[in-house]
Structure 1
């Protein structure tokens, strides 16, 4: 008797999984068709692409879920809708990969832009005391409080031409933006934090 119960439970589980998989496949196919019919610009606005995906997906899922044994969607449960979107997205990758890849590229770009906006650079405004050119260029700046800061010119940044074209000289007043980066000091034989220039303004 116990064996029969176990077999019945396993059969029911497999049947439910098969039903759900069939539903996801159908929704993925219909969502791809819906997106294709809209003739969307894949390089266009990311929010619009996401919105159209969500609209097509929900329309298809709502139309098919009851007949195919799917769970009813709770529209105020964002976690469940996000999970469903991910599962359908995986299926869509085999049907309309260009659209899913376009969404992925937009998502990566959006995250990178958000991370860049969150990065707040420190800055010093003052008089250029000295510009040393050795293995790396270092610039000494005396700020408005009389403190001296030494900064390294290591990376490219948008206003780097101010220095590379010879427009930044000793005695100039400038605003220097910088990041603090941990680098190894071979003389001290230890890691130290250095101010690395990320922007110049005269």
Structure 2
């Protein structure tokens, strides 16, 4: 009896892994097709990182139901380790379809994939933009939670924010960001904040 239960467990686990691999292959294949469409060879490594990161996060949303049923689940806004694990799995599957893309990251390997995984985004409504030396963008996300993002440098969508000025309140956006660590003189310790890397108006 125990042997039968063990055998059933092994079969069930194998089926889950096979299903997960099939979904990851779909994501990897679509990612490769997208990168070939945008002519990845003409992109800088940084631009390639950004496009790759955004694409695999978009595809996670597309195949979220299948991935969750196969045991691959994480929160886009919170689970950094889960995102890194997902990015690495997709990268491994991409070897089958476009090894030349991964060759572009060959010099830096795992560190590059972690950078790709660090590209996150959320959708919401702009509450306000405030600050003197530095701007902070406040977004009310789809769950009703208010989140703050640092505007530290030029990024895609920043010109539109400047042009809108005070009319920006209430605008629906998709905001891409990355976690950055800096030292807080007030707290006398290193803290992590969200830095805007791109804004898309919806």
Q: Normalising by structure 2, what TM-score?
A: 0.47
